[in-house]
Amino acid sequence: MSSENQATTDAPPLTEEIAPGTATDPPVRSEESVTVTVDGTAVTIPPESTLIDAVEAVDTEESVPALCHYGREEIGPRSECRTCMVETDAHGVVPACSFPPEEDMTIRTDADAASEARDVNLDLVLSDHNLRCTTCGKNGRCELQDAAIEQEVEEPRYGVLDDRGEYEPLDDSSSFIQIDRNKCILCNRCVEACNDVQVEGVLRMEGSGKDTRIGFQSDAETMDDSACVSCGHCATVCPTGSLVEKGIEDATTLPLPGFTQKNSIGKVHESSGSSTGPMTPKKHDKEPTSDTPPSEASTSDDEGTDETDVWTDDANSGEWP
């Protein structure tokens, strides 16, 4: 057996190498059921809750967006966007999505300090977002857009991404997922869905400060070059139009002649014409045994593998098999 084959045989499972997205999630959930008061209304919330669960259980006067909060599938809490700030009697203004409730705690969503904090933080999120909603496929079904409308934002106080001309190229290379980092609010939902729910280990957060972005654990430059298996879970949990399944990326775009998302932001990473299929072969090939050449092991029990390993847009007319 060659050294290359030996390395393939001894390679650890993929899940031993990925960086879980929830590794730094704080242990902030309550251990027991507690009763708290939200804007004058008492509510009992179950174990494993945070303050956002109490806020969402009450018909509050103020809107509390919680854009980076997902609340399902053990995704988060991340407490990244801070658009869910509320005021408590014991701890002052705190992020509701990542703060544990305490018995008899009093929570105010309509306190001036909490309301101002939510407004400022929402404007900060909007300042790093591409606000060309009319050319976005998530127009009308975007959580950030909903929050801006509910908070009656007319013009973000810190400007918008368009003012600074700092657009990243649109990653349209994959046949299944489109990435537009100019719409990303760095909520981390997609990373956790990819790593901790689907256990695929494709996405990651990379960089720091204003250079923080969604990247790939394989250091790939584009989605087409990554190890993506096209499950689509990242697009499902994305609160904006940053990750969208292909085929619906223009689903709710308003028709403006000559003006599209692609031609308005500059460079686009286009599809090469062929890409990996819905399931990448390397994760589903039969693992070679010590007495079976890898080339035979990968095809002996999987007739037609060579035909389905590479998904060719032209040959399949863009349709799923």
**Band of the pLDDT at 3, cuts 50, 70, 90?**
very low
Residue 24, Cβ density class (10 Å: 0-12 exposed, 13-18 middle, ≥19 buried): exposed
| pLDDT of res. 196 | 86
Provide the token pair at 228.
């993506």
Q: Give mean pLDDT, residues 91-100.
A: 93
Beta-strand relationship, 34-38 and 106-108: parallel
Counts of helices then strands in the chain (DSSP H, E): 12, 13
230-272 pLDDT tens trace: 999 999 999 999 999 988 877 777 777 776 777 667 788 887 7
Provide the token pair at 36.
């708290």
Residue 155, Cβ density class (10 Å: 0-12 exposed, 13-18 middle, ≥19 buried): exposed
Q: Give mean pLDDT, residues 199-221.
A: 90
122-162 pLDDT tens trace: 999 999 888 888 888 888 899 999 999 999 998 888 888 77
CA-to-CA distance for 75 and 96, rounded, in angstroms? 15
Q: Give mean pLDDT, residues 35-46.
A: 96
| pLDDT of res. 25 | 59
Whole-model pTM? Answer: 0.75
**287 secondary structure, DSSP code:** P
Cis before 257? omega within 30? no
